Amino acid sequence: MDAFYASVEIRDRPALAGRPVIVGASGSRGVVLSASYEARALGIRSAMPITRARRICPQADFIAPRHEVYGRVSAEVMAVFRAVTPQVEPLSLDEAFLDVSGSVRRLGRPARIAAVIRATIAEQQGITCSVGVAPSKFVAKLASAHCKPDGLLVVPADRVLDFLHPLPVGALWGVGERTGEELARLGLRTVGDIAQTPVATLQRELGQAAGSHLAALAWGRDERPVVAAVPEKSVGAEETFAADVDDPEVIRRELLRLAGRTARSLRASGCVARTVVVKLRLANFRTITRSRTLREPTEVTSVIYETACALYTGSGLDRRARLRLVGVRVTGLTPVATAGVQLSLGEPAPSWQQAERAVDRIAGRFGPDAVRRAALVEPHE
């Protein structure tokens, strides 16, 4: 993700767009956790003390972190990844390796897969990500950093050395300040310089393990596989209104949009869910959650939406209570392949599943706004 925490804050507060935004704990010991690219252009960096950031950029918007929100967004992003391949190795809340070698036949070339991932995250979460595509984890990570923000860079196998060798030695994993000084003493400034240095020389000057490691990376060799992690146990979406809302119809319309996003994340993860949870935050910041367990697990927007509306009505907040945030989440996830569905005699076969999967395919080919529910079309459209 690009400036993950800051991007989520800007998404939830559109008035911050284009401004220097700094997310970090306040106090004399607080540090910068994330900074928008406008703040980075002014010299702000992650892990910088907040007190120093205030001196450098007093005009910035300083925001306390909301780790719960970032965790939920991260879970939904990871669900998008797992819709592409089960081989997903998260590095942190906002970064992961994907091995897509088993998905090419189904989804197309890696560059197309990367483009679909970027478009899906932008549509579902309202934030951007940068993707590097390469034959190894090391080169893919470098490529993703190289094309930030909001970029896509493909490094084919036959162009790996062309990409690597002009880079400074600090681009290699394991080259910190001290190792960088040792390499500079040897006259090695670029990755190409290291590649042209005998391995024995590197081992003698840096130690056997470090010398061998840097020599391999300088030639693009990284044999580490992607190690899949355990999937998340819930998915969902939430929205903070630009101004407090007390109109039940507006709130129900937002619940429909969030139910659609949640259902898409479910389908993307290959799961169905048994429990629907609604989050309602009032204007005074009091937060209420309500949940209901379904008779049968679902991945269908209308089922999630109707349950969410019933929970909203049951909370009593549909009587003109002013809300600043609403959210929809589903838990009790089960892979579709293992989920049993109870069929009732005399009832028509379910069709919404097929319809919504068709819409997913259309969105993947023509963009996220190619098809929408009529209730979500804006009046001016």
Asked whether 193 and 173 are in contact (CB, 8 A), the reply is: no
Q: How many CB atoms lie within 10 A of CB 248?
A: 17
* Rg for the chain, CA atoms, rounded: 24
Fold observed for domain 234-376: Dna Ligase; domain 1 (3.30.1490)
Q: What mean pLDDT is predicted for residues 322-339?
A: 86
Q: Cβ neighbours of residue 128 under 8 Å, at least 6 residues apart?
A: 1, 2, 7, 118, 121, 122, 149, 150
For the domain made up of 67-227, the CATH class stated in words is: alpha beta
Q: What mean pLDDT is predicted for residues 289-300?
A: 93
| Active-site annotation holds for 123 | no
Question: What pLDDT, on a 0 to 100 scale, did the predictor assign at position 120?
Answer: 92
Tokens of 31: 């540090």
Q: What mean pLDDT is predicted for residues 136-153?
A: 96
pLDDT confidence band for 372 (50 / 70 / 90) = confident
Cβ burial of 17 (10 Å; 0-12, 13-18, 19+) is exposed
Residue 286: alpha-carbon gap to chain centroid: 28
- For the chain, strand residue ranges (E) read 21-24, 32-35, 61-63, 88-92, 95-98, 131-133, 152-154, 234-245, 271-282, 287-298, 323-331, 334-335
Angstrom distance (rounded) from CA 320 to CA 365 = 41
Residue 350 has pLDDT above 60, yes or no: no
User: In sequence order, what are the beta bridge partners of 155?
Assistant: none
Whose tokens are 């005009």? That residue is 59
Asked whether 251 and 323 are in contact (CB, 8 A), the reply is: yes
Q: What mean pLDDT is predicted for residues 309-326?
A: 93
Point out the catalytic residue in the list 95, 123, 182, 306.
95
Q: Cβ neighbours of residue 90 under 8 Å, at least 6 residues apart?
A: 78, 96, 229
Question: What pLDDT, on a 0 to 100 scale, did the predictor assign at position 75?
Answer: 87
User: In sequence order, what are the beta bridge partners of 122?
Assistant: none
**In the chain, where the domains are located:** 4-65, 67-227, 234-376
Question: What pLDDT, on a 0 to 100 scale, did the predictor assign at position 336?
Answer: 78
pLDDT confidence band for 348 (50 / 70 / 90) = very low
Question: What pLDDT, on a 0 to 100 scale, did the predictor assign at position 345?
Answer: 46
Distances (CA, A) of 78 to 33, 52, 72, 159, 205: 21, 34, 10, 29, 41
> What is the residue-averaged pLDDT of the chain?
89
**Do the two domains 4-65 and 234-376 of this chain adopt the same fold?**
no
**Residue 375 three-state SS:** helix
The model scores a pTM over 0.85: no
State the pairing for strand pair 88-92/152-154: unpaired
Angstrom distance (rounded) from CA 334 to CA 271 = 5
Q: How is 89-140 classified by DSSP, letter by letter?
A: EEEETTEEEE--TTTHHHH-SHHHHHHHHHHHHHHHHS----EEE-SSHHHH
pLDDT confidence band for 72 (50 / 70 / 90) = confident
Which CATH number applies to 4-65?
A: 3.40.1170.60
Tokens of 29: 């010991």
Residue 167: alpha-carbon gap to chain centroid: 27
